[in-house]
């Protein structure tokens, strides 16, 4: 090995060591725990695939998967187009764009616990609740919000969209700066209005970024945990229990003595599903994003 290669390895070694300890070692440890019966207190016992069988036979797994898919569907239906629409409209603003960008990103910097407490106050299901009072002005409500099994998941999606849309808006705004101005000028010379410019110029130029943010949002919604845990704890009547919340319940619902083997088994199953889904997604969109 040349002196240059040896020096590069020497300087990279601490980074590789830290990355291995804090990233790969937990993954390896999770694989080992998934085939053990362990509560991190008593000695671990090798059980093979029993943890996976236990998870697959758990009636709550089907409920958690269904709720996770429902959350992902609502989040994509509501939360995916909103940042794109807001970013495109903000890009058309000529003055005060920095202020609008700061306001759009502000929810991201609000601590999650504070945001949940704020939304819980807004979601008061009584007729005097904030949202119910506002909707009552136009003759709607009152609605039970997250206190009702049917309303709980849409309520969580609205709160999650408010909390996470700002980061995606900034990504779209950054991507919009790379759209060649001459394309808009050519469209204006052809008599295109703002909506035609957005449809025929802006969106095609953002195609690659849209595909990336879409898969990132799908992965994030498949791992939703914070909102169900802080808002409802999985209730009412398991209406908001998700896969990640089920993993948490396996491991920590009973404090010490939790079923860590089942928790890591379900974690690996979720990771494998997301990896396969991401691979298929990127293969299908590789030609679309570049065309």
Give the phi and the psi of residue 288 in degrees, each rounded to 5.
-65, -45
Question: For residue 135, how many other CB atoms are within 10 A of its CB?
Answer: 14
The region of weakest confidence among 16-30, 120-134, 231-245, 268-282 is 16-30
| pLDDT at residue 8 is higher than 80 | no
Mean pLDDT of 129-156: 90
Neighbouring C-alpha atoms within 13 Å toward the C-beta of 43: 2
pLDDT tens, position by position, 229-277: 999 988 888 999 999 999 999 988 765 667 889 999 999 999 999 999 9
pLDDT tens, position by position, 56-86: 999 999 999 999 999 999 999 988 888 888 8
Q: Which of 238, 280, 246 is nearest to 262 (CA)?
A: 246
Answer yes or no: are the C-beta atoms of 162 and 107 closer than 8 Å.
Answer: yes
Residue count (the chain):
291
* DSSP 3-state of 1: coil
**What is the rounded CA–CA span in Å between residue 281 and residue 34?**
27
Mean pLDDT of 13-24: 84
| pLDDT at residue 187 is higher than 80 | no
More reliable by pLDDT, 178 or 130:
130
**What is the rounded CA–CA span in Å between residue 223 and residue 271?**
10
| pLDDT at residue 54 is higher than 90 | yes
pLDDT tens, position by position, 190-213: 777 777 777 778 888 888 888 888
**What is the rounded CA–CA span in Å between residue 254 and residue 257?**
7
Q: How far apart are the first and last CA of the chain?
A: 43
Rounded to two decimals, what is the model's pTM?
Answer: 0.86
Mean pLDDT of 102-129: 88
| pLDDT at residue 128 is higher than 80 | yes
Q: What share of the chain is helix, strand, coil (3-state, %, to 5)?
A: 75, 0, 25
């Amino acid at each position: 090995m040349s002196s240059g290669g040896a020096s590069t390895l020497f300087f990279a070694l601490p980074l590789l060591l830290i990355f291995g300890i804090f990233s790969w070692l937990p993954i390896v440890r999770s694989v080992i725990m998934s085939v053990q019966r362990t509560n991190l207190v008593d000695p671990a016992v090798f059980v093979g695939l029993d943890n996976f069988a236990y998870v697959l036979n758990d009636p709550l797994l089907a409920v958690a998967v269904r709720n996770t898919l429902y959350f992902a569907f609502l989040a994509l239906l509501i939360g995916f187009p909103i940042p794109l629409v807001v970013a495109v409209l903000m890009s058309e603003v000529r003055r005060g764009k920095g202020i609008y960008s700061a306001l759009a990103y502000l929810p991201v910097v609000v601590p999650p616990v504070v945001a949940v407490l704020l939304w819980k106050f807004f979601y008061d299901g009584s007729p005097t609740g904030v949202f119910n009072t506002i909707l009552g002005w136009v003759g709607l409500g009152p609605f039970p919000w997250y206190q009702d099994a049917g309303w709980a998941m849409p309520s969580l999606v609205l709160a999650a969209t408010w909390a996470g849309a700002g980061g995606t808006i900034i990504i779209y705004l950054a991507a919009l700066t790379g759209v060649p101005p001459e394309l808009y000028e050519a469209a204006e010379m052809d008599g295109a209005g703002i909506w035609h410019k957005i449809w025929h110029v802006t969106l095609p130029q953002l195609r690659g970024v849209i595909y990336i943010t879409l898969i990132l949002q799908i992965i994030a919604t498949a791992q939703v945990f914070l909102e169900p845990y802080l808002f409802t704890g999985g209730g009412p009547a398991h209406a908001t229990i998700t896969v990640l919340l089920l993993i948490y319940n396996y491991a920590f619902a009973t404090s010490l003595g939790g079923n860590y083997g089942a928790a890591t088994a379900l974690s690996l199953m979720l990771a494998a599903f997301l990896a396969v889904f991401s691979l298929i997604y990127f293969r299908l969109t590789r030609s679309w994003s570049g065309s």
